[in-house]
Structure 1
Amino acid sequence: MEKDNFGSALEFDQDAKPVVLLVDDNEEILDFISDDLSEKFQVLVAKHGLDGLAILEQEIVHLVISDVMMPEMDGFEFCKRIKTSVEFSHIPVILLTAKNTMQSKIEGLELGADVYLEKPFSPEFLQVQASSLIANRNKIKAYFSSSPLLHLKSIAYSKADEQFLEKIQAIIDKNISNQDLDVEHLADNMNMSRPTLYRKIKSISNLTPNELINISRLKRAAELLSQGLLKIYEISELVGYSSQTHFGRIFSKQFGMSPTEYANSRQADMRSK
């Protein structure tokens, strides 16, 4: 029986609640906002930025909501740390503040905050903002997974993310015919621990590292099929599959058509232009 390193088609878990990290030094506000958000999100809490960073290093977090005025590390510094870190730069940040000056808004947005809300704010409005940020990013991730020719860097949210994804893509491209390419190889070449790499890739793409390798193989295969220069079994081997049948099954499950159907559709498109 052939060893299957490639997983199945990549699907999003629609039932899992997104994880929100809520950071505020006021216990009452933490409880109030956490209770309101818990209907739609799994909520983690921290009392200042340093605690927040410690949680980010251990958990997969989809959104950060942080107060600005806090001890130890305030919200501005916390936001800056998130947005300038390779590990966390993809995470959207909502800043909450009693400061309603234009300068404070500019400072927050310049540090990379995605949304800046003034206190007092409507809990319903915060929930809508959080849901919207996560939903928009999930749409981008899903579109990337279902589009054969869409490049990995299309899901980047920042320059740091783009550079990270381009480096990942280059490693995969260089080793794409290697059937044993796995997360260990990626982690070694990225100079990152396996857990850190896993959290980063999972958060930015909704894929595990091995799923990302697999979809990169399939997208490279789609490029080669579009060119129409190689036979399917040759493409299958070039992108790291020892079995053409297995390749065809995974390709069909991912993109909704067989390699032959895809190649024919691309050639038809080119003839019609």
Structure 2
Amino acid sequence: MEKNLTKTDLILIIDDSEDILDFLTEIFSDGYDVVTAEDAEQASAILKNNVIDLIISDIMMPGIDGFEFCQQIKSDIDYCHIPLILLTSKNTYQAQIAGLEVGADAYVQKPFSPEFLLLQVANLLKNRFKVREHFASTPFEDSWITTHLKTDEMFMKKVEEYIHLNIKDTNLEIDQLAYHMNMSRPTFYRKVKAISDVTPKDLVNIVRLKKAAKLIAESDLKLFEVAQMVGYNSQSIFGKNFLKYFGINPLEYASQLKNA
């Protein structure tokens, strides 16, 4: 499935030069939504109030420079999943290494061609989409947490482990998960959605259904018993959700396993 990038991704551009901001805004405004900041302080305020999909930051800025800002972003659990491109006029290997060491996803030297920068952005966003798509399309894997960022992987595994520990709780809600992760409800919601492309509610449901599929495959439990063990009060709702997610109802799935 190809991703439609038109007017769906929000890019944050940071540069203390108004001319550069105007130039980059013009480059990206045809395909993306764009917000700009003149320094790291403004950028941090924008991050708190918007769901940013990608950041482009100059290195040479007043106050906190691009290297330090990148390091802050990549060490913050709330924002580390956001791809970040550093722009610089420093044409040295040392500068490139420094950019990679602080976690930059790409390092682009000035002057650059608009086409090259557009391609870098498109590729990074496409990769993020593939990761999110993978989460939603691998229901039978033991772990669907596979990402190039260890911080994201650890975050999602911690969430999934908590869901498993409380899987029989029919009232397990986003507030409990957010509290467990020491995050506010809105921040937790944005984080899960950004990494996995599913809501926390859907994530809980997927973990329940994956556990149910495993129980059906590995035990002789009745379907109503399986439903109860994964937190469903209603076998009917369990069956509908199972069919919606796996494309087969629990009874047919169990029958196929027996006949395999």
Asked whether 1:78 is paired with 2:69, we answer yes
Separation (CA, whole Å) in 2 of partners of 1:207 and 1:120: 39
Alignment counterpart, residue 54 of structure 2, candidates 63, 67, 86: 63
SS of equivalent residue, structure 2 residue 107: strand
What corresponds to 1:37 in structure 2?
A: 28
Alignment counterpart, residue 108 of structure 2, candidates 99, 117, 122: 117
Moved more, 161-170 or 253-262: 253-262
Q: Give aligned pairs, total.
A: 257
Asked whether 1:196 is paired with 2:175, we answer no
Query: Do the aligned partners of 1:201 and 1:207 also contact (CA within 8 Å) in 2?
Result: yes
What corresponds to 1:9 in structure 2?
A: none
SS of equivalent residue, structure 2 residue 63: coil
What corresponds to 1:213 in structure 2?
A: 204
Q: CA deviation at 1:231?
A: 2.5
Alignment counterpart, residue 9 of structure 2, candidates 18, 22, 25: 18
The one-letter code sitting in structure 2 at the alignment partner of 1:58 is N
Moved more, 188-197 or 216-225: 216-225
> In percent, how many aligned pairs have the same letter?
46
For structure 1, the residue ranges without an aligned partner over 5 or more in a row are 1-11
Separation (CA, whole Å) in 2 of partners of 1:266 and 1:141: 29
SS of equivalent residue, structure 1 residue 96: strand
The one-letter code sitting in structure 2 at the alignment partner of 1:233 is F
Q: CA deviation at 1:103?
A: 0.3
For structure 2, the residue ranges without an aligned partner over 5 or more in a row are none
Tell me the TM-score normalized by structure 2.
Answer: 0.91
Moved more, 75-84 or 213-222: 213-222
Alignment counterpart, residue 38 of structure 2, candidates 23, 44, 47: 47
Moved more, 68-77 or 208-217: 208-217
Asked whether 1:176 is paired with 2:154, we answer no
SS of equivalent residue, structure 1 residue 153: coil
SS of equivalent residue, structure 2 residue 232: coil
The one-letter code sitting in structure 1 at the alignment partner of 2:36 is V
Q: Deviations over 1:243-271 (max 9, x none)?
A: 22212222222222222344455566xx6
Q: Deviations over 1:38-95 (max 9, x none)?
A: 2222112111122212222222111111111111211101110011111111111111
Alignment counterpart, residue 251 of structure 1, candidates 230, 242, 258: 242
Moved more, 55-64 or 112-121: 55-64
Structure with more relative contact order (C-alpha pairs < 8 Å, separation 6 or more): 1
SS of equivalent residue, structure 1 residue 82: helix
Tell me the TM-score normalized by structure 1.
Answer: 0.87
Identify if the C-alpha distance between structure 1 residues 15 and 35 changes in structure 2 by more than 3 Å, giving closer, same or farther: closer
Alignment counterpart, residue 226 of structure 1, candidates 217, 223, 228: 217
Query: Do the aligned partners of 2:6 and 2:32 also contact (CA within 8 Å) in 1?
Result: no
Q: CA deviation at 1:162?
A: 2.1
Query: Do the aligned partners of 1:90 and 1:157 also contact (CA within 8 Å) in 2?
Result: no
Asked whether 1:28 is paired with 2:19, we answer yes
The one-letter code sitting in structure 2 at the alignment partner of 1:255 is F
Identify if the C-alpha distance between structure 1 residues 14 and 34 changes in structure 2 by more than 3 Å, giving closer, same or farther: closer
